[in-house]
Structure 1
Amino acid sequence: MKEKVKKTFKGYCKGYGKQALFLSLTFFFLQSFHEEIVAGPLNKQNGIEEVNQSRVIRGIVKDQSGDPLVGVSVYFEGTTVGVATDIDGRYEIQKPSNISELSFSYVGFKTQVIAITNNNVIDVVLEEDNQLLDEVVVVGYGTMRKSDVTGAISTAKGSDIIKSQSFNALEGLKGKAAGVNIFSNTGQPGGEMRVIIRGIATINASADPLYVVDGVVMKNFRFLNPNDIESIEVLKDASAAAIYGARGANGVVLVTTKRGGNTGSRSHISYDGSFSVGTMLRYMDVMDSHEWMAAFKQGLENANAWQGKNFTTDLSQIFTDERLFNSDGSPKYNTDWQKEADRTAFSHNHQLSIQRGDKDSSVGAFLNYTDQQGILHNSYQKRLNVKLSYDDKPTNWLSTGINLLVNHTWGQRTSDNPYGLGALRTMVEQLPFLPLTLDGEYTQTNVVQTTAILNDKDNPSSGYQGFSPEGVGNPVELLKRLEAMTYRTNIFGNAALTFHLLPGLDLKTQIGVDYEHYRYAGYTPFTPRTMINQSSTGSASANTSGRLYWQEETFLTYDKIFGKHS
């Protein structure tokens, strides 16, 4: 049966499926490795990652039969730099500095890690993972061996997901499930992720897959603690809809969390922790103060040449604010607002696990605290998570299981609305000749004092033209003074009874709940003075919402092998 699965898989890669997989994975890598935050080994200078432009590594990836493999993940461990092999098995990747190993990963094959030498050509032959075919995977209402699965399914282990040490488990799933494209919709800490399985199947409706955790549907999967995950299976074809109906039309993500395990007579206590540093990868190229003044002067000259004006081009007659400009009209300050608004973010994660169990019963307790800081001032997301599980087999005909998870997250967000005047917009639009503070207060464009000039510098009666900047808020002030706090508490769990009626015949009844309480608290201050484009009297807002989902299901399963067949 294993040999049949291997041949079928190879035949698929050589046919139309090979081209479709290549297009899908190429699009995925173009998106998923275009990140704004660097996580991993960096050679930093002024907060920017340096890349050795002259070092490009290329090669071909094949299987043991000599056939090229399409869609192999080629990446540098611990970074966001990676590519996928093309339809001929070729790849080309740019090597970051201080990286010495290149990894090759592909579904159904053993992952290889190759040491990088002075050779810029690295050809690899991947070995099939026969043991992988005998692993048990979750498929809807039961489990199967991978070698017996006929549908399209991808799997990922929890130990691989937490390698990236991200707040969202979907972030760690990137690149580990073929045909699953994961995009970041926002750079906010703990922000939303978009998941598309095998392309978009709808125009107007949601394309999000269905998330099922320990047999119970979970609404906000992005807040689940990645450290609690044992494995993830992704159902990608019609089998998802066959089990879950219309809810599984966009695919199903099946998650199995950690339990007590089999530790014998002794308890197993473990601690896992991580610390990460995030910086801005690159900045937008905007004008500095001197370039801005030169562009303004060019605007005066254009008006004189094409609009019949005769403005003076002596900027010292316009920009007369001695707090900001010298006597010749040159600016005193040159502020890079992008660098003022961002910071080096330090994040950390701590997990304490206590497990004990034998063949008849097991218990597990898991405690987690995560603090993810954003690269913009005063942006963060924190999580406190507690998980308890208990499994027991009191008699030969009955098994029980209880799983309870309590998750509380809270954080400060900044507006990422492109049509508003939040910090993400004003940090690239604010005037560069304004300092961060002036006379002890944050500056904004309404503090700029200018002098009107004649429409015709040679005619005193030609009237005057004034210049005043657009109202743009101080991005640092917006980040530090505005409050937009979110609080979310989630209680999730299930209890199950399994009756062993006959050998191989089980009756399982299960009830599960997913309760969430959400609260938002926003505040806009009006002292010591009103911020531009904010309420002149200040404002405060708050809202709360609650949601309860429950499900009960009872089903029979029969598992028996009637001899071995090829």
Structure 2
Amino acid sequence: MKHFHYLILICLLFFSISSFAQEISLHGQVTGVSGEAIIGANIKVKNKSVGSITDINGKYNIKAAPNDILIVSYIGYITQEINIKGSKVVNISLLEDTKKLDEVVVVGYGKQRKIDLTGSVSSANIDEFRKSPNTNLVQSLQGAVSGLNIGQVTAAGQTPSISIRGANTISGNSSVLIILDGIQYNNSLSSINPNDIASIDVLKDASSTAVYGAQAANGVILITTKKGAVNQKPRVTFSSSYTTQTPTVNLRPMNRQEYLDHVRDLYWDKAYLTDGSLNPAFNVATYVDPSMKDSNGNLSSNDFNWWKAATKTGYILENQLSVVGGSEKVNYLISGSSTNQTGFIINDKFKRQSLRVNLESQVTPWMKLGVQSFGSFVNQDGAEPSLWEIETQSPLLTPYDSNGNLIPYPFNTLDKNPFMTYLVDDYERHNFLFANIYSEIAFPFIKGLKYRFNYGNNYRTDIHNWASIYGAGITGEAYKENTQYADYTFDNILSYEKNFGKHNVNLTFVYGSAERKNNYTKADATGFDRLTLGYNNLNLATKQYTYSSAWREALNYQMARLNYKFSDKYLLTTTLRRDGFSGFATNEKYAYFPSVALGWLISEESFFKVKWVDLLKVRPGYGVSGNQTGRYSSLAKVTTSNAYVYGDGGSTVVGQELSSLGNTDLKWEKTTGINLGVDFKLLKYRINGSIDWYKNKTNDLLYDVAIPNITGFSTIRSNVGQLQNSGVEVNLTTINFDRKNFQWSTTFNFSTNSNKIIRLTGADTNGDGKEDDMIASNLFIGKSLGTIYGYQSDGIYQATDKIPSGYYVGCYKIVDQNKDGNITPDDRVVLGHTEPAYRVSMLNKFSYKKFTLSIFFNSIQGGKNGYLGANSPAVSRSDNSLRWNDIAGVNYWSPANTTGEYARSVSSPAITPTLYKDRSFIRLQDISLSYQLDFECIKKIGIQDLTVYVSGKNLATWTKWKGWDPETGQGLTTSGRPVMKGYSVGCNVTF
């Protein structure tokens, strides 16, 4: 019997070894119906305690026996059971569950299933743009979300302009509210490592933004960072990329010959004969500025390329490393990154080092503790040369003399050598620290009741030290500048969710407060005998100055929200928020912001029998959100100035005086909005999309109203008028092909937006029964904020024309609108507007086996007289125009070029009108091609996944706009900056 026991033991051991020997290493990718990678999907072996979670590329790796069955699940998708059947590679495509859709949409103070949303909330598809060379996370959102408008960048590390659904204010705060991991983020978005971001959600309509009340009138962007994984061994991911950057357009200043021709054409009345041919007796050297001649009066032989000396090919080098893992009790994400960007302009530099630690611990079955934190350290040492001075310097001059010394004033005027601002000792650092500490308690004695607190803290230091021997009129200047900013946010969030049969109730209550403070100091010194120690010994200067300032502001708020659902098809969301802000007048510190929204899943009704419609939901909503004034706008402000001198030769005494009037009735701007939305899924989820129409009205607009100067002041901050804003948004995703080895999907975004001033001050000085326009402020009743009001041009005066007094051959003609024979301000008319008619974008994604190709087009169109920009170079003969260089290739008028587009005359006209040109464009904005190496080839060296890719950004732009870039609105100007196009190569490796 004893031996029998040993025999059984040996058999079991053999069986276990045999089973182990049969195990295989299984891997693959989990995707959605449109081919997008699903991050965090659960992979389990049925009837075994073996599991895995997909990574950021949707990839997984697991040990299993040949006949095992995998259970694959993810929130919002149908759980699938898949028989391995001895395969080593199993790719899985999950189908959305019409009953459980997208439970990962982030809304204010929580998350919500997409199918339960009643407001207009969009999730950005940032995964498709991770391979683009974007050092700032919002660059990835350009054109990716309808209604979200992201501008272009022209400098290293720059944060682009951001707006949601256009303008809702005239002169109030127009900034979009940024929420990072549940905490308002007031620091630069360039401090955030884009690779740390898990999702970006955009709250657009008043019913969804009302949870943030007073600060949400311009929309809200919710940024959620990545977290650790439960029951996962440490997974290390490394990514690296290198990008070259060059301008999208080839604008440059004129070279020597072009410059001399330019001077000649400014003297066209002497340089050309009456038949338009050149006068052989004309000598351009006679008219060139003396600074460009030698001692004998001959032209300098120089042909110096100032533009080439100030520019070079830019690049971006990025390296990212992250570790993700966790147990049942603790999960973690630790990441670090290094970004080094050198722009096209020399000394346009941006270096960022960042470290993130996100930890979460399930302390007890009912309590969770966590921290989301990062530090970002930005180095922007070095000062650029002045671009305007680079572009206007004559090629006949050089920046250095024969001994290699800088020539401070090459023109012998006050126009400086641009390299005076480059050859400086410049130290510029920006350090950012962020932490959100939170705890979540699920009360065990009341199911569905949870309490969460968030304590978030932002801290920033800005240090800028600078010294130049060329400063203060070449007497030497140096300064040290220091700014410290800090804020805190403390939120108490109580939520309760309960099902009562067909009823579902979710209640959320918030009580929170925030405080922000800023301190600034600067020590400046001029007049140095020597600057050996630079800014580190300011007391060596003959003149020393100090400056300091500080401010502080506080907010508190309360919010209650009810989400109610009946029978999984009738939805209600109602919110009430109360906000208080220290910046408003004593009697107007607080305001209330309510909202209500409904949802109806028509496709769930028994009478709805349309087979090709998988989901159809309508969403009407109404809400009020607010806008804050400046922190001290309601108060009378005091300034100091040199006020008294006691006696002849006496010292000057500083006095104090009021600089602005207070307004004890100053109150909040309030934006009231309605939104009508439709969500749909058609043809077995092959077509998914939404359509939204909205109209907002902002009342009590914050504006500096002009008052009689007899009061001692020119304006007072007040509440005036009403502004209307409306538009349409369409989002559409189609699954064009879905085969075993080939998939193709298309995402299409379309949006329109227009605004109109309904009322202003109410004044009617003309007695015509109509409210006055504020022409001096470019504000017109019934017109948009971007209305262009000016003189209409009608070509260029030719030598054969009858030219009115004050105008010359080669000047712009101005249309005499009232036919009185004179050009006066009464001849100004509305020429158009700066706002576009619509924005549209299209993303196509193709997958073939292990290759993936993404192509993204973005476009802004002006329609009739829309999206116009000032672009009217005009030059007349003067000391400066003869001296300064200009952009090469500008089509100026001359006797030899009478069809020239832009004005050139011998004298300045009485009025030079501004020409406005269409900025419409179509841009190939992003393209990437990636390849995932076969796992069998790399697993032997411990690599789970290896993907290599190439990508490009801003590779082609189709537009009629002439100049730097239509999106920046910089035309044929000597003060423009180029938008960059880039080519990248990179790889992602997971261990």
Instruction: Tell me, in whole angstroms, the C-alpha distance in 1 between the residues paired with 2:129 and 2:370.
Output: 25
In 2 relative to 1, CA 212–313 (structure 1 residues): closer, same or farther, beyond 3 Å?
same
Instruction: Tell me, in whole angstroms, the C-alpha distance in 2 between the residues paired with 1:262 and 1:201.
Output: 44
Q: Note the alpha carbon deviations across 1:236-276, whole angstroms, 9 max, x for none.
A: 11134421111111111111111112352x21111111111
Instruction: Tell me, in whole angstroms, the C-alpha distance in 2 between the residues paired with 1:182 and 1:301.
Output: 45
Shift of 1:352: 0.9
SS of residue paired to 2:312: coil
Instruction: Tell me, in whole angstroms, the C-alpha distance in 2 between the residues paired with 1:193 and 1:351.
Output: 23
**AA in 2 matched with 1:217:** Q
Instruction: Tell me, in whole angstroms, the C-alpha distance in 2 between the residues paired with 1:328 and 1:156.
Output: 65
Does residue 1:551 correspond to 2:551, yes or no?
A: no
Is the contact between residue 377 and residue 479 of structure 1 (CA under 8 Å) also seen in structure 2?
A: no
Instruction: Tell me, in whole angstroms, the C-alpha distance in 1 between the residues paired with 2:413 and 2:456.
Output: 55
SS of residue paired to 2:247: coil
Equivalent in the alignment of 1:16: none
Indicate which of 515, 536, 556 corresponds to 2:459. Answer: 515
Instruction: Tell me, in whole angstroms, the C-alpha distance in 1 between the residues paired with 2:284 and 2:438.
Output: 78
SS of residue paired to 1:481: coil
**AA in 2 matched with 1:378:** N
In 2 relative to 1, CA 315–158 (structure 1 residues): closer, same or farther, beyond 3 Å?
closer
Equivalent in the alignment of 2:135: 167
Equivalent in the alignment of 1:486: 428
SS of residue paired to 2:140: helix
Indicate which of 185, 206, 225 corresponds to 1:238. Answer: 206
Equivalent in the alignment of 2:71: none
Q: Which moved more, 1:189-198 or 1:133-142?
A: 133-142
Is the contact between residue 400 and residue 496 of structure 1 (CA under 8 Å) also seen in structure 2?
A: yes
Indicate which of 425, 431, 445 corresponds to 2:388. Answer: 425
Aligned residues with identical type, % of pairs: 25
Does residue 1:268 correspond to 2:250, yes or no?
A: no
Instruction: Tell me, in whole angstroms, the C-alpha distance in 2 between the residues paired with 1:302 and 1:382.
Output: 53
Q: Note the alpha carbon deviations across 1:203-252, whole angstroms, 9 max, x for none.
A: 10121111111111111241211111111111111134421111111111
Does residue 1:348 correspond to 2:286, yes or no?
A: no
Correspondence 1:201-212 to 2 at 5 A: 201-212=168-179
Instruction: Tell me, in whole angstroms, the C-alpha distance in 2 between the residues paired with 1:158 and 1:425.
Output: 37
Equivalent in the alignment of 1:144: 112
Q: Which moved more, 1:285-294 or 1:236-245?
A: 285-294
In 2 relative to 1, CA 187–440 (structure 1 residues): closer, same or farther, beyond 3 Å?
farther
Instruction: Tell me, in whole angstroms, the C-alpha distance in 2 between the residues paired with 1:320 and 1:213.
Output: 57
Shift of 1:486: 2.4
Does residue 1:181 correspond to 2:119, yes or no?
A: no
Instruction: Tell me, in whole angstroms, the C-alpha distance in 2 between the residues paired with 1:230 and 1:170.
Output: 13
**AA in 2 matched with 1:431:** S
Correspondence 1:17-416 to 2 at 5 A: 133-184=101-152, 187-222=154-189, 223-262=191-230, 264=232, 266-284=233-251, 286-299=253-266, 302=269, 313-315=282-284, 329=298, 331-412=300-381, 414=383
Instruction: Tell me, in whole angstroms, the C-alpha distance in 1 between the residues paired with 2:295 and 2:246.
Output: 35
Instruction: Tell me, in whole angstroms, the C-alpha distance in 2 between the residues paired with 1:321 and 1:470.
Output: 11
**AA in 2 matched with 1:296:** V
Equivalent in the alignment of 1:541: 479
In 2 relative to 1, CA 560–292 (structure 1 residues): closer, same or farther, beyond 3 Å?
same
Shift of 1:317: 6.1
Indicate which of 482, 502, 506 corresponds to 2:450. Answer: 506
Instruction: Tell me, in whole angstroms, the C-alpha distance in 1 between the residues paired with 2:97 and 2:245.
Output: 39
Instruction: Tell me, in whole angstroms, the C-alpha distance in 2 between the residues paired with 1:510 and 1:316.
Output: 73
SS of residue paired to 2:130: helix
Is the contact between residue 435 and residue 443 of structure 1 (CA under 8 Å) also seen in structure 2?
A: no
Is the contact between residue 325 and residue 332 of structure 1 (CA under 8 Å) also seen in structure 2?
A: no
Equivalent in the alignment of 1:472: 415
In 2 relative to 1, CA 474–536 (structure 1 residues): closer, same or farther, beyond 3 Å?
closer
Instruction: Tell me, in whole angstroms, the C-alpha distance in 2 between the residues paired with 1:333 and 1:439.
Output: 12
**AA in 1 matched with 2:175:** D
In 2 relative to 1, CA 212–446 (structure 1 residues): closer, same or farther, beyond 3 Å?
closer
Please say which structure displays the higher CA radius of gyration. Answer: 2
**AA in 2 matched with 1:428:** E
Instruction: Tell me, in whole angstroms, the C-alpha distance in 2 between the residues paired with 1:323 and 1:203.
Output: 48
Count of residue correspondences: 403
Shift of 1:514: 0.8
Instruction: Tell me, in whole angstroms, the C-alpha distance in 1 between the residues paired with 2:328 and 2:205.
Output: 35
Equivalent in the alignment of 2:76: none
Shift of 1:471: 4.2
Shift of 1:313: 4.4
In 2 relative to 1, CA 537–503 (structure 1 residues): closer, same or farther, beyond 3 Å?
same
Is the contact between residue 142 and residue 150 of structure 2 (CA under 8 Å) also seen in structure 1?
A: yes
TM-score (norm 1): 0.64
Shift of 1:171: 0.9
TM-score (norm 2): 0.38
In 2 relative to 1, CA 320–360 (structure 1 residues): closer, same or farther, beyond 3 Å?
closer
Instruction: Tell me, in whole angstroms, the C-alpha distance in 1 between the residues paired with 2:492 and 2:424.
Output: 50
SS of residue paired to 2:212: helix
Instruction: Tell me, in whole angstroms, the C-alpha distance in 1 between the residues paired with 2:271 and 2:454.
Output: 80
In 2 relative to 1, CA 140–304 (structure 1 residues): closer, same or farther, beyond 3 Å?
closer
Shift of 1:300: 5.1
Is the contact between residue 156 and residue 349 of structure 2 (CA under 8 Å) also seen in structure 1?
A: yes
Shift of 1:365: 1.0
Shift of 1:157: 4.6
Shift of 1:137: 0.9
Q: Which runs of 5+ in 2 are unaligned?
A: 1-94, 274-280, 503-566, 569-603, 605-991
Instruction: Tell me, in whole angstroms, the C-alpha distance in 2 between the residues paired with 1:241 and 1:376.
Output: 40
SS of residue paired to 1:473: coil
Is the contact between residue 324 and residue 434 of structure 1 (CA under 8 Å) also seen in structure 2?
A: no
Q: Which moved more, 1:436-445 or 1:555-564?
A: 436-445
Instruction: Tell me, in whole angstroms, the C-alpha distance in 2 between the residues paired with 1:271 and 1:338.
Output: 38
Instruction: Tell me, in whole angstroms, the C-alpha distance in 2 between the residues paired with 1:362 and 1:248.
Output: 33
Shift of 1:358: 3.4
Bigger share in helix: 1
In 2 relative to 1, CA 435–231 (structure 1 residues): closer, same or farther, beyond 3 Å?
same
In 2 relative to 1, CA 315–143 (structure 1 residues): closer, same or farther, beyond 3 Å?
closer
**AA in 1 matched with 2:332:** V
Shift of 1:446: 4.3
Is the contact between residue 188 and residue 413 of structure 1 (CA under 8 Å) also seen in structure 2?
A: no
In 2 relative to 1, CA 134–403 (structure 1 residues): closer, same or farther, beyond 3 Å?
closer
Bigger share in strand: 2
Is the contact between residue 458 and residue 487 of structure 2 (CA under 8 Å) also seen in structure 1?
A: yes
**AA in 2 matched with 1:353:** S
In 2 relative to 1, CA 249–413 (structure 1 residues): closer, same or farther, beyond 3 Å?
farther
Q: Which moved more, 1:483-492 or 1:210-219?
A: 483-492
Instruction: Tell me, in whole angstroms, the C-alpha distance in 2 between the residues paired with 1:149 and 1:253.
Output: 16
Shift of 1:522: 2.1
Instruction: Tell me, in whole angstroms, the C-alpha distance in 2 between the residues paired with 1:150 and 1:253.
Output: 17
Is the contact between residue 389 and residue 403 of structure 1 (CA under 8 Å) also seen in structure 2?
A: yes
**AA in 2 matched with 1:218:** Y
Instruction: Tell me, in whole angstroms, the C-alpha distance in 2 between the residues paired with 1:200 and 1:483.
Output: 41
Shift of 1:284: 2.9
Structure 1 vs Structure 2 CA RMSD = 3.5
Instruction: Tell me, in whole angstroms, the C-alpha distance in 1 between the residues paired with 2:346 and 2:252.
Output: 21
